[in-house]
Each structure stands twice: as C-alpha cells, then as structure tokens.
Amino acid sequence: MIAPRSATASVPGWASILGVVVVVLGVFLTAAHATEWLKQSVLSANVPPSGIMPDADCPPAELEEEGISEAECEYLVDHVRGLMLASPDWFPAAMGTLAIMGTILAFVSVIVGGALVNHTPWASVAAIGVLGGLVLIDILQFGTVALAGPILRDAYLGNFFLWFLLHLMLVTGVFAGRQYDQKGSGESGPP
Amino acid sequence: MQRQGFTRTAVLIHWILAVSILFLFLSSWWMMGLPLPSPDLQFRALPFQLHKNIGLTLAIFLLTLLYVRLKYRPAPPGDRKTGSQVHLLAVVTHVLIYLSVFALCVTGYLASAHTRWDTVFWWMIRFPRIAAPNEELNELWSDLHIYSSWLLLGLVAVHVTGAIYHSCRKDGVVRRMICW
C-alpha cells in the first residue's frame, strides 16, 4: 500500500526522479535484450546445414501484402546472408548469453528503480549493484561486437555505447545521491 | 474505505503488460525485416507464433487488469493540486491505451485468422479457424493493426511523460503503481 503524503514528501528528489528513469529504461531494456536473444536464437536455428542461403521466394501477392518491391524482398534474404557471413562462429552464443543475462538484470532494474522511488533502505545499494551489472553487460557486448568485425559494429556499436553511457550516468547519479544522503544525515544527526 | 494504492495484482499485470508491449514493438520491427516465408526459409515462423501468443495472452491480462482496477478502485492521490486539464489528459490517455491495446489484440488476431497460417496458442492449443484465407481482409486487419500500434506508441510516450512529470512533482501518483 502506498505511503501517506508526508512519507512521499520525505523521499529525496534524486531518488524519485532517478528511480522512475531507471524503471522506464529498465522496461525498455528488458524488451531490447529479449529481442536480441530471440534474434540470435532465430538466426542460428534457421541457418541451412550447408551454410548456403536459398534464393528469396517473392510471390507478387506476398509483395503487395508486405508493401515491398521484389528487389527489397531479395534484399531481406541478402541481409540475413550478410549477417551470417559477418558473424564469427562464437558470436551467436556469446551475444545470446549476454542478452539472457541482460534481460534478467534489466528486469531486476525495474524492481530496483521502484524501490528507489519508494526510497526503500536497500534501494540505493541494490541500484548501484544492478546498474553496475548492466554497465558490465554493456561493456561485454561492446567488446563482443568490436571483435566481430565491421558489419556487426555498424549494426550494434552505437546502440551499445549509448546504453553504456546511460547506465554509467545512472549509477553515478545513484552513487552521488547516496553520498548526499549520508552527508545530510551526518550533519543533522546527533554529534 | 478505498485502498490508497493499486492492488498488487494490478501492479504486477501493469508491469508485465509494459515489458510485453515494448517487446512486441521491438521484436515486430525486427521480424518484419526477415525473409518472406518459403519451404526453405522459415525465419519468420517462431517470431510470428511468439508474437501471436504474447498478443493473445496480453488480451487476457488486459481484461484481468480492467476487472481488478474497476473492482478495487484506489483512492485519489493525496496531492490534488494537479490541474484539471492534466487530470483529463491522464484519464483520456489511460482509456485510449486500454482501447488501443485491445484493438491491437483483436486486429492482430483477425489479420492472422485470414492468412493460411493457423494459430496454436503457446504451441499447445490449436485455435479453430474462424475464417478462410482472404488476402484483402488480411491486409485490411493488418493495416488496422499497424495504425493501432502507432497510436499506442504515441500514447505510451504521453504515459511515460506523465510518469516523469508526477515523479518530479513528488505528488505520490507514480508510487501508486510502484508499491513493492
């Protein structure tokens, strides 16, 4: 049950605002990591055993339904072929594992963000841990893609760097807010 | 006496809906870029079935959320200083979000029902066919599905903006949906 108004007013501004931002980004990131997980599963499960992609099948009725030209339909297959060619053997497993870990941590960050909004005693410590974990996932994903070659760098790196910066800002913000709280309670408390 | 926050069931369903809806957006943008299906190219099979399964499950969750919210109405937040126009915007946005999610579920199901692909709910329950494959109706319902999705995306942006607004005001509105 929600705390009364007086308790709401006692929540520091940084915790209230950062908490909601962590929740919103956490929801988005959970969906993004889950999509990446699905992406790697689908691409690796549908690679033909020969490793050679079949030609595109582009019936006119399907093209009209999809609203694409025949050239675009052929490009859809070429695009997947390009991704498969660009992916080292270890890439799908590495990205898939990081995506699973990212999905779980991002979902936990939604809970921790809520705890920040409520200014639960354990919230700031948990937020530093979870957001720090997400920074680590971002770095590992960045490194994985950086080693994978230019095509995958083009597809992923900008996105991963943005998430890295966002998580770094959030973890720094929570860290600073925690220090501010400790300093404030130290000053107003008994000598 | 009315309870002060939303029930735990309502809170849980709200966040499940939030994550699932965003997942459906992101994954659908990606899956529509996969090769068109053929006997040799089955890239779309799993993502489309998953999309349909999650969408149908969302309809069940949405109805449950609506029931829980109407049965256990929370008291208004303590701070009533929010302007009446902002309050009206919040009410309209919430109603439109419910309607657009429901419209997405219905139009998605009807679009799928007019294709040659069957719906097997979570790979266990085969739904009976309600219509024969029909290209024109499939396109019509697909277009409505897409328009509803753009509408929902805009509404989600307004909803999130509202959450940030209330969070900065520290008026207790956001905490009603984050009470764990």
**Tens of pLDDT along B131-159?**
999 988 999 999 999 999 999 999 999 99
Write out pLDDT tens, residues B121-134: 999 999 888 999 99
Sign of CA dihedral A72, A76, A81, A83: positive
Identify the pLDDT of residue B2.
Answer: 57
Q: Predicted confidence band at A2 (pLDDT cuts at 50, 70, 90)?
A: very low
Percent of chain B whose pLDDT exceeds 70: 95
CA distance A103 to chain B (A): 11
Q: In a mutagenesis test of the B interface, which of A35, A80, A83, A110 is the best target, namely the one with the most B β-carbons within 10 Å?
A: A35
Task: State how far the Cα of A105 lies from the Cα of A110, in Å rounded to an integer.
Answer: 9
CA distance A191 to chain B (A): 31
Q: Is B168 in contact with A2 (Cβ distance < 8 A)?
A: no
Q: Is the pLDDT of residue B80 over 70?
A: no
Q: Is A1 in contact with B179 (Cβ distance < 8 A)?
A: yes
Q: Is B27 in contact with A34 (Cβ distance < 8 A)?
A: yes
CA distance A95 to chain B (A): 16
A28 in reach of chain B (CB within 8 A): yes
Sign of CA dihedral B61, B155, B7, B67: negative
For residue A187, what are the CA distances in angstroms to A9, A12, A91, A122, A131? 20, 16, 52, 21, 28
Identify the pLDDT of residue A9.
Answer: 59
pTM of the predicted model as reported, rounded to 2 decimal places? 0.90
Q: Is A27 in contact with B18 (Cβ distance < 8 A)?
A: yes
Q: Report ipTM for this prediction.
A: 0.88
Q: Which residues does chain B have within 8 Å of residue A27's beta carbon, measured at their own beta carbons?
A: 15, 18-19, 22
Q: Is B47 in contact with A57 (Cβ distance < 8 A)?
A: no
Identify the pLDDT of residue A4.
Answer: 45
For residue A126, what are the CA distances in angstroms to A22, A60, B118? 12, 55, 45
Phi, psi of B33 (to 5 degrees): -95, 5
Structural contact between residues A56 and B36, judged by C-beta atoms closer than 8 angstroms? yes
